[in-house]
Amino acid sequence: SRSIRLAVIPGDGIGQEVVAQGLKVLGAVLPQDVKLETKEYDLGARRWHATGETLPDAELESLKEHDAILLGAIGDPSVPSGILERGLLLKLRFAFDHYVNLRPSKLFPNTATPLAGRPEIDFVVVREGTEGPYTGNGGSLRTGTPHEVATEVSLNTAYGVERVVRDAYERADARPRKKLTLVHKNNVLVHAGHMWKKIFDAVGEEYPEVTTDYLHVDAATIFFVTQPERFDVIVTDNLFGDILTDLAAAVTGGIGLAASGNINPTGAFPSMFEPVHGSAPDIAGTGKADPTATVLSTALLLRHLGYDAEAARIEEAVAADLAARDETPRTTGEIGDALATRVAG
């Protein structure tokens, strides 16, 4: 009989609540013969306050023993900015070499968008996850004085760019429209930008059926709001991907619906799935959090592990649930129940 060894990091704020619904739906969708073995990890603000630890080595080692990780949300106003982000979330992405940060964006029927005219939106951003300005490479001199100098270094390697660009071509090639857009800022960030563009063009020769396009990041934000239907697959750097996927979430109905996967396609380390939203401490414990983004993240998780049919069932359940939504407010648990019922039925 098959099994999925799943590490669960509920994290902070609404993390606990939304992860519970994700697990509920996972349990409901999986065939009887698949055993879901979960192990919970107590990481995040509480742990840091109690012990000063963000991600001890022993836990990092233990996490490796799993097939995948489901993460809720990390961060709390009581913890200085950067500590949990870099000490836990980014540490996991880097330690497990999650070089494909996959973020699909789809405007479902019957959901609110701030855009007039409800354009058709159905694209996926392949965000590089292990390089760029996220490497923690920087420092400051004469810190806190009027003579302070602070640097942040964006590190980019041909090795790192080539593998994520190739992954994006594969995804574009597998989609009906077969279109791939590179987003960078190669008129200013010429060294990194030209390397990205050169590799993008070179790998493209192996995918003659994929139509390609290049946009500067500033121009890309314009098209996200004026012409989002032009995008199919987007590949971009770590920081530009961070910015663009929040904007993408906003135009497709909000971060309550945006799923993501931090993927190591080689399988050398467990991949990690998480909603794009944060810990939303202002609504934690109120039952107001929408668990849909987490549930959609479990679909990405299942697809990564080869459970394609089950992943599709979850996505169909979400689409059906959104189509049936009316103004009646539902709690986090009620939305989870509704989705669990749909995937089981």
Ligand X SMILES: CC(C)[C@H](C(=O)O)[C@@H](O)C(=O)O
CB of 185 to a second copy, least distance (A): 7
The answer to whether 218 is a known catalytic residue is yes
Q: Which two tokens stand for residue 302?
A: 């299942």
* Residue number, 253 or 336, with CB nearest to a second copy: 253
Interaction partner, residue 109 (a second copy, ligand X, none; CB < 5-8 Å by kind): none
Torsion angle (degrees, nearest 10) of CA 264, 191, 237, 231:
-120
Full DSSP string of 255-292: TTS-EEEEE-TT-SS-EEEEESS---GGGTTTT---TH
Q: Which two tokens stand for residue 285?
A: 């414990």
* CB 130 within 8 Å of CB 98: yes
188 lies in the binding site for ligand X (CB under 6 A): yes
Q: What is the DSSP letter of 131?
A: S
218 lies in the binding site for ligand X (CB under 6 A): yes
CB of 89 to ligand X, least distance (A): 5
Alpha-carbon gap, residue 90 to 307, rounded angstroms: 27
- Which residue do the tokens 């799993």 mark? 66
* Residue number, 112 or 344, with CB nearest to a second copy: 112
CB of 306 to ligand X, least distance (A): 25
Q: Residues 190, 192, 198, 204: is their CA dihedral positive or negative?
A: negative
Per-position x/- string for 262-301, each x denoting binding to a second copy as judged by CB under 8 A, each - no binding: ----------------------------------------
CB of 238 to ligand X, least distance (A): 7
222 lies in the binding site for ligand X (CB under 6 A): no
The answer to whether 246 is a known catalytic residue is yes
Q: CA–CA distance from 299 to each of 103, 119, 196, 317 (Å)?
A: 12, 25, 30, 11
Q: What is the DSSP letter of 97?
A: T
Residues that bind a second copy (CB under 8 A): 75, 81-82, 85-86, 90, 113-117, 133-134, 136, 138-140, 142-159, 162, 185-195, 197-198, 217-219, 221-222, 224-226, 239, 242-243, 245-247, 249-251, 254-255
Active site residues: 134, 185, 218, 242, 246
Residues lying near ligand X in the complex (CB under 6 A): 85, 89-90, 187-188, 218, 242, 276
